[in-house]
Amino acid sequence: MFIQQAFKYRYDFWRYLLGIFIVFIGITLGQIPLVVMAMLEKGGDVMMMDENEMLSILDSNLTLFLMLLTFAVGLVFLLVHVKVIHKQSVLSLTTSRKRIDWSRFWFAFILIAVFTIVITLLDYFTNPGDYLVNFQLEPFLILVGVAVLMMPLQTAFEEYFFRAYLMQGIGVLAKNRWLPLFITSIVFGGLHFFNPEVGKLGNIVMIHYIGTGFMLGIITLMDDGLELALGFHTANNLVAALLVTADWTAFKTNSIFKDVSDPSAGWDVIIPVFIVYPIFLYILGKRYGWTNWNQKLFGKVEKAETLNLSEEA
């Protein structure tokens, strides 16, 4: 089992607390290039600005690269900590299978990418007044390069930190599956509270962020691995960055379209979480033969007697 295999390594809870601190240090250090570039452009005044004002100083492609670099540095710190302090392999942090199943990653990636593109184009043709064609070849090509290179690192950091590291750490402490699912999903969603989308659309949009956390946590537990969650999350962020931007989003990019509508949140937030996500779960469950949902989501996490106890020292 995905959580259970953490017992094979050094799983003392203080190691996980240290890991959270190490990740915080990595994220903080990863922000330095963005702050330095903003200071070179604007001077010391940037220290008095909020995050959104600082991000508006630089070219959008450079800003995106530096924002995503923050998560890339955090990912490196996390994986080094897991290897050195927990003596755990990246493979066991990724999946319970003997090797990473990239076909799972690509199935989820294509499923979400196609769905997002189709829904966006339907909305564009149905409500053309809500969009401007924002496409400019050279900035868009640079955006593609930055997004394809860096976006997978950003989503990998979030998945490895929440759905792998914290899921396993809380799971081996609580000896169950439901508590890590709830904690990681709520914390993951809660950390999006300061996104500009929340300020523009209102707190109701938190249903989307927390619901997405639960969706990713459920597919991780049901599939005993991160591959599907990685594909889902990467496609969601990558396609969104390339396809549509708006002045009120966290990622302001040189995308194909720009949303110029007066945004509001209501059924368009609720429907994906309570209707679309269950459909995705049904599709994935049928394809990969998921069974015993109650045990996998709410069952106990018990240490197998066959594990080599010397590996825990």
Beta strands in the chain (DSSP E): 131-133, 244-245, 257-259
Q: Is residue 12 part of a domain?
A: yes
- Give percent above pLDDT 70 in the chain: 92
Reported as a pLDDT band with limits 50, 70 and 90, residue 309 is very low
Compute how many other C-beta atoms are within 10 angstroms of the C-beta atom of residue 292: 9
Compute how many other C-beta atoms are within 10 angstroms of the C-beta atom of residue 43: 9
Q: Is residue 311 part of a domain?
A: no
Q: Is residue 310 part of a domain?
A: no
Q: Is residue 88 part of a domain?
A: yes
Q: Is residue 248 part of a domain?
A: yes
User: Which tens digits make up the pLDDT trace of 92-115?
Assistant: 999 999 999 999 999 999 999 999
Q: Is residue 307 part of a domain?
A: no
Mean pLDDT of 245-256: 86
Of residues 233 and 198, more confidently modeled: 233
Reported as a pLDDT band with limits 50, 70 and 90, residue 201 is confident
Give the whole-angstrom CA distance, residue 172 versus residue 180: 9
Q: Is residue 313 part of a domain?
A: no
Is 38's pLDDT higher than 90? no
- The number of distinct structural domains making up the chain is 1
Point out the least confidently predicted range of 82-96, 157-171, 218-232, 299-313. 299-313
Averaged confidence pLDDT in the chain: 91
Give the whole-angstrom CA distance, residue 26 versus residue 14: 18
Reported as a pLDDT band with limits 50, 70 and 90, residue 53 is low
Point out the least confidently predicted range of 70-79, 124-133, 152-161, 178-187. 124-133
Q: Is residue 8 part of a domain?
A: yes
| pLDDT at residue 246, as a whole number | 87
* Amino acid identity at 41: E
| pLDDT at residue 305, as a whole number | 55
H or E stretch covering 64: helix 60-85
User: Which tens digits make up the pLDDT trace of 208-232?
Assistant: 999 999 999 999 999 999 999 999 9
Domain that holds residue 173: 4-302
Give the whole-angstrom CA distance, residue 118 versus residue 187: 30
Residue 183 CA from chain centroid, whole number = 15
